[in-house]
Amino acid sequence: MRPLPMTSMTPMTPMTSITPSAASTTPSAAPTISTLLVANRGEIACRVFRTCRELGISTVAVYSDADADALHVREADAAVRLPGAAPSETYLRGDLVVKAALAAGADAVHPGYGFLSENADFARAVTAAGLVWIGPPPAAIEAMASKTRAKELLGIAPLTDVTEADLPVLVKAAAGGGGRGMRIVRELAHLEGELAAASAEAASAFGDGEVFVEPYVENGRHVEVQLLCDAHGTVWALGTRDCSLQRRHQKVVEEAPAPGLPAALEASLLDTAVRAAKAVGYVGAGTVEFLVAEGRAHFLEMNTRLQVEHPVTEEVFGVDLVALQLSVAEGRALPPEPPAPRGHAIEARLYAEDPARGWAPQTGVLHLFELPREGRVRLDTGYVSGDAVGVHYDAMLAKVIVHAPTRAEAVRKLAHALDRARIHGPVTNRDLLVASLRHPEFGDPGLLDTGFYDRNGATLTEPRTGAEYAAVAAALAEAAGRGGRFGGGWRNLRSQDETRTYGDHEVRYRPTRDGGYEVTAPEGVRVVSATPDRVRLEVGGVVRDFDVTAYEDGTVHAGRHRLTRRPRFTDPREQTAPGSLLAPMPGTVVRVADGLAVGARVEAGQPLLWLEAMKMEHRVIAPASGTLTALHAAPGRQVEVGALLAVVSDDATPDAAQEDQTV
């Protein structure tokens, strides 16, 4: 096997000193920012705009064709179109973004996170155009934004080859983050294929296909340090964050401070982060990430930008990091010391995805999106009720953040807020988040590690209890809305029950003499009242109310349950041939397995083709061994959910596609 670019996961200390390659200079004339363009989209653009409004700074959005009606476009004072939909055509086109800033009269550019936020050439293009760059010097970005180069600066020796003894290993994109371009490899025979897949995904997501390999440390803690530096030599280390709850190597729950760290280890993390920032002349907000395992810390990377999880640090330290970024960019000095921390903050990322189906991303209209107003719950989002969730970008709907005096109080408060949220539309990970926060293992900081979902995923994705009663409420609300089968009245001649099915729950009921309803299945349910939008049921002596809303796509939300109504009769046109592989999500076919053609023999579990949806790559596998008798997919083809991709016949005749997420 050819030599591979790799780095070893060696302990963080002792740390090799870093050559000061990018000393910052104080601007000769402090700039004043009056109009800011955010070179990003969605939640982070809306979050930056919020601070700009408070500071009296005008805002400019950029948008792709897919984002023409997005919230960040509606919230900006002006917006400039970037023709196309793919990131490579739009948000990754630094030349177009700079032209947009100049055309809109902006005098500064904030990159947000992802996309071009860690692209040194883009930072240079911004400043060359006479615009203020809200970020670190380009040389500092180059020194730290690439994980491979950052580790070289830290003196971590690269490996030259991979052997069985090194397994498992982790393939990672040198640029970017968010779990994209990342693969765990446990068998040497799979390495080349995963290198190619990770490189292709990294190139699509970040415009840089460089990947590297490092030993994979099982079940460590992901801990990071927030930095903020000015151009006058002041460096703030704003405490630690724990981001150990991850799926597909992407963070799901983050909190500050990282709980349960020994004082000496925490001090070492803070000191290392400060020394690294000073060594490269860092200016602005940045984060140094570590993997903590067996009481030792291993350097992962430095993110030379604002992090997704920055709100928990803001809540603990009582600061606005975006406002401070702008202040630093205008040449102002930070106070010598940061504010003192207080309490505990925790954040959950709410995604349009189905954890029970391998975290498959979901699309559709977000019909209703409301969180409880009490308790000072913070919501950072790029969506409101009525917005559509598309296929082109990340599936994150929002970040939900709370602050409390203690960790236990913050965890309880966040779980309660999520549990009471009203989210109608695509399937989300809300129930998983609530179950995670209430899990005993999460309550014990000593048990936190990145293997949480590997151990507990099966139980955490079990359906929420009480769905059978939500189905009763849905059926009765429907009956009340149409006056019942018998016009809302009781008949002297007893008739057969009405039957409705929601998901796996069959409901049978009949009208009563007093104009109400009697439920015959499931048993033990007494109907207190039923209207088209609200049903009150008594089960086991406990009365519960269900707010019910039905939508044209067949989904019904009853209380905190999302149900899908099954038709009484199946439309023959919707039947598919045995062995049909259907697209598990809308997306784009990016690859077909080498040599795959009609007539080929395939084995169960063999990857046949790859779909890209919401910036993630998903592989569709053969559900059983057999012969490929049809292939309807080619690279570049856009498919909707349920589209026929291929047919495998003979040895087994499955009735639907199987899909395996590889990230």
Backbone angles phi, psi at 655, to 5 degrees: -110, 10
SS3 readout for 630-656: EECCCCCCEECCCCEEEEEECCCCCCC
CA 489 to chain centroid, in Å, comes to 50
Catalytic residue among 305, 349, 500, 565: 305
The question of whether 422 is a catalytic residue gets the answer no
Provide the Cα torsion 585, 589, 591, 595; round to 10°. 100
Closest C-alpha to 227, from 282, 270, 276, 285: 285
Helices (H) and strands (E) in the chain, counts: 15, 39
Amino acid identity for residue 424 in this structure: H
| Count of CB atoms situated within 10 Å of the CB of 643 | 18
Residue 349 vs residues 61, 251, 379, 615: alpha-carbon distances, Å: 23, 8, 10, 16
Q: Which residues contact 99 (CB under 8 A, 6 or more apart)?
A: none
Contact 327, 337 (CB under 8 A): no
Instruction: Give the span between the Cα atoms of 134 and 106, in whole angstroms.
Output: 13
Residue 71 vs residues 35, 82, 378, 387: alpha-carbon distances, Å: 19, 16, 17, 8
Instruction: Give the span between the Cα atoms of 582 and 579, in whole angstroms.
Output: 9
Residue 438: which region, alpha, beta or left (left: phi > 0; alpha: psi -120 to 50)?
alpha
Adjacent-strand bridge partners of 284: 229
Residue 223 vs residues 36, 251, 262: alpha-carbon distances, Å: 32, 11, 13
Adjacent-strand bridge partners of 601: 627
Instruction: Give the span between the Cα atoms of 405 and 384, in whole angstroms.
Output: 30
Report the b/e string of 99-124 with b at 16+ CB within 10 A.
ebbeebebbbbbbbbbbbbbbbebbb
Tell me if residue 421 falls in helix, strand or coil. coil
Strands 78-81 and 58-63: parallel
Residues tagged active-site: 305
